[in-house]
Structure formats: structure tokens, C-alpha cells
Chain A
């Protein structure tokens, strides 16, 4: 029987502009985002180097200078807020707490999720059902509202925030790791490990965990972005970080009442937050490609 060539339905022409842009960002431009994230990390670690002013120094005579303007003390790239504090310095200062909360909370969430997911996937049966139902029950609850409730009850503080935020993300880690573990469990090298005499803890730690790490890494980077947005949301609502601590979410909240007169107070920290989350997403895609190539 001769083969019949079936014409492909996919058009051969150039892909739509959106896809092209996305592809370009991921294939060529990813290092720009990596660079941006490194800059953010540098802000967080050495705010003194980057901030032109003290982020707590207020001078009402310099209030609401628009971006690019100048005061007797010097120029303000990002303008000043209602109390005359330099916004750029606040944004630099805010990077530390914003990133710290996001990274630590995601780490905690990942640790819980990976443990639960590995146990559920490896043991299966009752353990699996109990652990995963727990995660599902939690996913079914509007956790953001629960977080607001908890924070209002316990009083807003950075510590409570770091305890509450992981509950938002652990079920995602648990689900991914469980699925991955189910697959890895079938591998002959796991059977070989058991046959060799490895106790279950060693099987999980030395043989299962290293093989789920690539997937976790990708997820971890994405989830940092999610947690960052959640923290910004909570701080925006007033139950998250409290002044005089600064995070980007808090800056947005503080700028909101002045939105009509001073747009930069909300827009600039908002753009910063968005670009950071975008960078994390793009980098995670990049990681994913690497992880896929390695496996």
C-alpha cells in the first residue's frame, strides 16, 4: 500500500505575534530576566549600595514629587510619596522583605509538600488517601480568606505570615511530587535499592528524592512568584506586613489612596512586582527545558 501524504492542517507561515514574542522571551531573552532577578537579589542583600536615600527619612516639604523630579536634596528617579520619602529607595529597601518572605514561605511549603507527596506516592493505600484528601480539602477551602482570618486573629506579623503562606502552596508540591513518585516507584532501580537492603527512609531520601528534584525546582521557582503575589495581596489588605517594614505589596497599598494625584506610588511598585513574577515564570520554563533534557 503506498503511503498517502496527508496535508498538515497547521499553517506553515509565521506564528502569531504573541507566540513569537513568548518564544523569543524564553529562547533568547531569558538571560535578561535572570539578570533582572540577580539585580533584585542584590537589592535585597545590599540595599545600602543601591538606595540613594534612607527609606525611612521623611521630609514633608518634598512630598509627591513626580518621577524624574528633584528636591533640594537631589533627584528622585521614582518620585516621592505623600510624606516626602524617596520611592526608589523604598522599593530597594522593600526587596529584602518581599523576597525573603516569598522564598522562605515557599521553601517551607515545598518541604511539607515534598514530604507528604513522597510518602503518599510511595506507600499508597491508606496513607495516600489520607494525605491527599487532606490536601484536597484544603484546596477546596478559600485559603486566601482563611489566611486573612488567621492573620486578623493572630495579629499581622512577618512570622505569622511566613507560617500562614506555606499552607497556600504545599498541596501543589504534594500533588506533583506524588505523581512523580508513583512513576519513580515503578523503576527497577528502586526495586534494586530495596533488594540491596535499603531501609525505606534511605530509598526515599537517596533514590526517590534526587529524582523528583528537577521537577520540584521548576515548581519552586513558579511558586515563589505566587507566594510573592499572595503576600502582596495580604499586605495590600492590611493584614500582612505592617509599616515601618516595607514590602512592594505594602507600597502599593500605601499608594492607593493617592492614585488620582500620584500614579507612580502604585504603578511603579506594581510593575516591579509583576516583572519579578514574570521573570520567575520565564526562568522556571527555562529550568524545565533543562530538566527535560537531563532526564
Chain B
């Protein structure tokens, strides 16, 4: 099966390739574990920053997440909830304070810098701002080939060949090879970013809102491209977005993040069909509202998250969502943070961090909204402070912003 001169970059053949390909893996100093080793494992990850005034901010608070091989996990939440920080901490682009990150079987805490760098060859990232993520002084060919040069993969000619192959794979015409990023359209720029991320044959690609800066028409193209790549390559994706429709299109599993914590996690179909956490319900409702039926239903239930994300400087006591949650009770919601309830009854495990998830998920929604004593809940906390009441049910297809 090993030809004398292996072509390490032939993407089309990737699935026929033997697991231990000498052309690529011999240069990799790190072992990656077997197929069952998760590509990324976060355990109780905590990331803190210091604000300008020196006040510590916990951007990511005890988050655990597992991404298996060839699995695409969507991470959703409002802008500012810590999604991007989580992604950067997972690649050690920002330091984390507590917990463990295990990338391809390697605990990041124990790695030296050189080991970390060679590990990064297998874990790439696609950024939100396509233009900003490309060095304006480099040509497209050089940008895409940069990871190969940095890791010393292949000869110069092979690299150029690999770049052209990669360009073809992501749908970039060959004549763009010598162009500079400013000469490309937004969609082309993002394709360059994708090509650069995939050229080293990574095991994990973290996409940090890869389509939110693009026009709607281009967005669909890029999403389809990512879906194709996901299906044809041996790669896992961590897909960050604040647009749930985008995540639903691509992900196998979804994790919903709120104010630095994962509040719900589970298979994509189940999360979208039956969200258990009130915040996820709000998010899912927000995308469904495009169709009239759903809008009507939500007009009755009114369980959308309104108002702004509370400040990380001063997070609410108890459950972090209680300040916006229509179901919140004084006890326990406003007193103690909810534990992570893991439910494996249906075969696959689902996680939800809510004291009242069982009541809320059951059919007695209205009584849950009305509260145990049957009184009207105070809806002012999640209705807009002023203006036409119908504003609160106007469609808005985004979870955040």
C-alpha cells in the first residue's frame, strides 16, 4: 500500500490511506492515541481574565466538553458568553487557570512549547473575520502553504502542489494563487482561511463563527463547503456560532453556553426538538419564529430570553440564568447554582444544568411559567422595557447580538 514516494497531501485518497502513513506521521513526534481517544477533551476548564481595573473575570467557568473523532460539535451562545475564549483556551492560545485540556491524548498543561507547536499542526482554526485572519503582505499561495513551511512538511515543489490541490478542494480558482487577500471577495477570503486550516490534515478544526461576517448568499456556500469537508475528511470540528440554524446544519452534537457555562448539551436532533434548558428553549424558539405557527405558540408561552447578558464582572447569584429565566424560583434557582444533570435514558447522554428541567421539559409548561402557586409570573424581567408589546415576539433569527 505504501508507494515509494507517498503523496502526503492527496485529500481524495484520505480514506483509503493506512492509519500509519509514513509520509506524514513519521515526522510527527507525538503519538495520537487510537481511534477511541477523543480529539479534544475539556475537563472543568476555567479561564480567567483581569479587567482593565484589575478585577478578575471568569470567562469560562468549569466547562467540560468532549469531541470524538470525526465528530462535529456545535457551540452556541450569545456574543460575550465565552465561546471564543473556550476555543482559544482549548488550543492554548489563551492561558487557562484550572482544569485540563487533552488534545489528541496529550494534556496541554504538561507540554513544552515545541511539543505544543507540533501538536498545533493537527489542530487548526478558522476565524470569524476572513480578511483580518490573512496576512495582507502574503499571497494566497503563501498563506495556504504557510503551515506546511512552518512544520517542514514536504519539499518546496510538493508544498506548492499541495496548495493548489487544497485550493481546488475548497473551490478557489487556480489563478488566485499569486493574488493578495485584499484582491479577493469575502467568500474567497474565507475559503483561503479554510484551505490553510486543512492543509496539514488536522484532526481537529475549530471554526470560530466562520460565516457570521459573510453575506447570506456566500454563507450558504461556505456552510455547504464545510459540510462537504466534514463528510469527506477524517476531521472533527468544533463549530462556534451564535446562529443556531447554522449549527443545526452541520453539527452532530450541540453544546449551549451561557455566561461562561455550558447549560445544555446533547445530540443535535434532540436539542432542537426538545430543548430542556429554558435558555436553549429561548434560542430554539428564536429560530422557529420565522414560521407563523411557531410564532403563535411562542406568543402564548413567552419564554424568550430578553434583556442583555449579565456582566461577567458580577454574575447573578445561584443559577447564572436566573435573572432572565421565566421559570426561576427564589429557592433553589436564585440561591444555589444548578448541578449538571446527565440523562442517559435514551441511550445517548444529554446534559442540562437547570434545577427545574424535569418540570420544564414535561408538558406542564404553562404551570411552570405560572409558578407553583398559580399566580401570574412577573414577565417584566423578560419583556422589553418599553414600546409596542409585539416587539417581544418579532422574529429575530439570531440568538445573540
Point out the residues of chain A lying under 8 angstroms from B193, CB to CB: 192
Which listed residue (B117, B135, B151) contacts A189, Cβ 8 A?
B135
Task: Check A193 against B135 for contact (C-beta < 8 Å).
Answer: yes
How distant is B118 from chain A, measured CB to nearest CB, in Å? 7
Which listed residue (B118, B132, B151) contacts A188, Cβ 8 A?
B132
A198 at the interface (CB under 8 A from B): yes
Task: Check B196 against A192 for contact (C-beta < 8 Å).
Answer: yes
Across the interface, name the chain A residue whose C-beta is closest to B91. Answer: A195
**Chain A, 189-229, CB within 8 A of any chain B CB:** 189, 191-199, 202, 206-207, 210-211, 213
A176 to B136, alpha carbons, bound, how many Å? 20
Given contacts A187-B132, A189-B133, A211-B136, contact A196 B147 (CB under 8 A): yes
A206 to B118, alpha carbons, bound, how many Å? 19
Given contacts A197-B118, A197-B147, contact A211 B137 (CB under 8 A): yes
Point out the residues of chain B lying under 8 angstroms from A196, CB to CB: 120-121, 124, 146-147, 150, 196, 200
**Chain B, 304-337, CB within 8 A of any chain A CB:** none
Point out the residues of chain A lying under 8 angstroms from B134, CB to CB: 189, 192
A141 at the interface (CB under 8 A from B): no
Task: Check A211 against B117 for contact (C-beta < 8 Å).
Answer: no
**Chain B, 113-131, CB within 8 A of any chain A CB:** 113, 117-121, 124-125, 127-129
Interface size class of A (residues with CB under 8 A): 10 to 19
A49 at the interface (CB under 8 A from B): no
B93 at the interface (CB under 8 A from A): yes
Chain B contact residues: helix, strand, loop or mixed: loop
How distant is A101 from chain B, measured CB to nearest CB, in Å? 31
Task: Check A202 against B124 for contact (C-beta < 8 Å).
Answer: no
A211 to B133, alpha carbons, bound, how many Å? 14
Task: Check A191 against B127 for contact (C-beta < 8 Å).
Answer: yes
How distant is A185 from chain B, measured CB to nearest CB, in Å? 13
Given contacts A195-B93, A196-B124, A197-B121, contact A207 B135 (CB under 8 A): yes
A187 to B124, alpha carbons, bound, how many Å? 17
A140 at the interface (CB under 8 A from B): no
A206 to B143, alpha carbons, bound, how many Å? 11
Across the interface, name the chain A residue whose C-beta is closest to B128. Answer: A188
A295 at the interface (CB under 8 A from B): yes
Point out the residues of chain B lying under 8 angstroms from A206, CB to CB: 135, 146
Chain B, 90-121, contact with A by CB distance < 8 Å: what is the 0/1 string? 01010000000000000000000100011111
Across the interface, name the chain A residue whose C-beta is closest to B132. Answer: A188
How distant is A183 from chain B, measured CB to nearest CB, in Å? 12
Residues of A with Cβ closer than 8 Å to B? 187-189, 191-199, 202, 206-207, 210-211, 213, 295
Q: A188-B132, A189-B135 known; 7 other A-B pairs, CB under 8 Å?
A: A188-B129, A189-B133, A192-B134, A193-B146, A196-B121, A211-B135, A211-B137
CB-CB nearest 6 A-B residue pairs: A197-B120, A210-B137, A188-B132, A188-B133, A197-B117, A195-B125
7 contacts across the A-B interface (CB closer than 8 A): A188-B129, A196-B121, A196-B200, A197-B117, A197-B121, A197-B150, A211-B135
